[in-house]
Amino acid sequence: MNQILLDKFGAYLIDKDYKKGSVQAYMHDAKYFFVFLQAQTAQSIEIRHLRNLTKTDVYLYINYLKKTKANLPVTINRKLSALRIFFDFLEEEGILQTNLAERICLPVPSKKEDSPENAFRISSEILEEHFTTLKETFSLCEAIIFIFVSKYALTPQEIVGIKREDIDITNGLLHITANNERIINFQDDLRLKSYLSALKDTGRYLLSNKAENAMSTRNVQLILDKISMAQFGKKVSSTTLRKNAVQNYIEKQNADLMQVKAFLGLKSISAVEKYL
């Protein structure tokens, strides 16, 4: 991957007065496109490869996002928008003669069809791929919150209530005391263990604000909004992310209702139904 070119792209975005969050998101999407090209050519992407790009490569990328990554049309269009900006930059650098992604977009379903409740579904395998890029763009605290919700189905209320003594990083155990008490086992989650180990000790609570008090649930949702917008092209609520986490748990563990009840720490089987 040509990191020098990506860095120049970042400087180009800053010079165009893009906000910090947009710069990070567009650089992430440009890097994502590089990863796709590298998989196609089986070699590191250099400027000479970019000079030889055609519209066919753009359509192959769209197909890759649809078929391999199961991205929704709204997510693909967001990535195409980032690609157009990247191609504008390549034109300015004299690497491309024209913007190959110009006027290419996918029809987007109606809001009802594309609502998180009806359309959002990300498999655990694809979700893990999203996790690999978190640390590059977001803080450790933000990455941990996103993993807690989207993989372990923790609620914002449960997250803000986690204290230092509730977590055993060595053995990969997390004691949830707020709402639905339970033990979360993350022994095999090496990424989460490394993130938690690297997290700065800021006081009593695992995740705290600048005043070293417990973070608010509102801040948790704002973080989820920021990350889901960057990763999926739209804001996804904590409830929707948790429902997706439950579906992944069921598929991966072949879990029955009693196991799902224990996974969520719920007190009754009837409470499980809204997650199915």
pLDDT average, residue stretch 191-209:
84
**In terms of residue numbers, what domain contains 50?**
3-108
Q: Which pLDDT band holds residue 39 (cuts at 50, 70, 90)?
A: confident
Q: Is 188 domain-assigned? A: yes
In the predicted structure, residue 84 carries a pLDDT above the cut 60: yes
CA–CA distances in Å: residue 228 to residues 7, 39, 70, 233, 271 = 24, 25, 15, 7, 26
Asked whether residue 36 falls in the same domain as residue 10, the answer is yes
Asked whether residue 181 falls in the same domain as residue 260, the answer is yes
Percent of the chain residues past pLDDT 90, beyond the cut: 33
Q: Is 31 domain-assigned? A: yes
pLDDT average, residue stretch 81-87:
91
Per-residue pLDDT at 106: 63
Whether this model's pTM surpasses 0.75: no
Domain boundary residue, one of 84, 108, 132: 108
Average pLDDT of the chain, as a whole number: 84
Which carries the bigger pLDDT value, residue 236 or residue 274? 236
Asked whether residue 91 falls in the same domain as residue 136, the answer is no
pLDDT average, residue stretch 66-95:
86
Which carries the bigger pLDDT value, residue 121 or residue 112? 121
In the predicted structure, residue 214 carries a pLDDT above the cut 80: no
pLDDT single digits (tens) 238-266:
999 999 999 888 888 878 778 888 899 88
Asked whether residue 14 falls in the same domain as residue 93, the answer is yes
Q: Which of 150, 155, 130, 141 is nearest to 232 (CA)?
A: 130
Asked whether residue 16 falls in the same domain as residue 79, the answer is yes
What strands lie across the sheet with 167-168, from one edge to the other?
167-168, 173-176, 182-185
Q: Is 114 domain-assigned? A: no
Per-residue pLDDT at 168: 94
Domain boundary residue, one of 108, 128, 157: 108
pLDDT average, residue stretch 88-96:
92
Asked whether residue 224 falls in the same domain as residue 138, the answer is yes
| CATH code: domain of residue 83 | 1.10.150.130
pLDDT average, residue stretch 89-118:
70
Asked whether residue 92 falls in the same domain as residue 52, the answer is yes
Q: Is 113 domain-assigned? A: no
Q: What is the 3-state secondary structure (H, E, C) of the chain?
A: CCHHHHHHHHHHHHHCCCCHHHHHHHHHHHHHHHHHHHHHHCCCCCHHHHHCCCHHHHHHHHHHHHHHCCCCHHHHHHHHHHHHHHHHHHHHCCCCCCCCCCCCCCCCCCCCCCCHHHHCCCCHHHHHHHHHCHHHHCCHHHHHHHHHHHHHCCCHHHHHCCEHHHEECCCCEEEECCCCCEEEECCCCHHHHHHHHHCCCCCCECCECCCCCECCHHHHHHHHHHHHHHHHCCCCCHHHHHHHHHHHHHHHHCCCHHHHHHHHCCCCCHHHHHHC
Asked whether residue 264 falls in the same domain as residue 167, the answer is yes
Structure tokens at 7: 């860095």
Asked whether residue 166 falls in the same domain as residue 261, the answer is yes
Per-residue pLDDT at 173: 94
Asked whether residue 29 falls in the same domain as residue 62, the answer is yes
What is the tally of structural domains in the chain? 2
Which carries the bigger pLDDT value, residue 154 or residue 66? 154
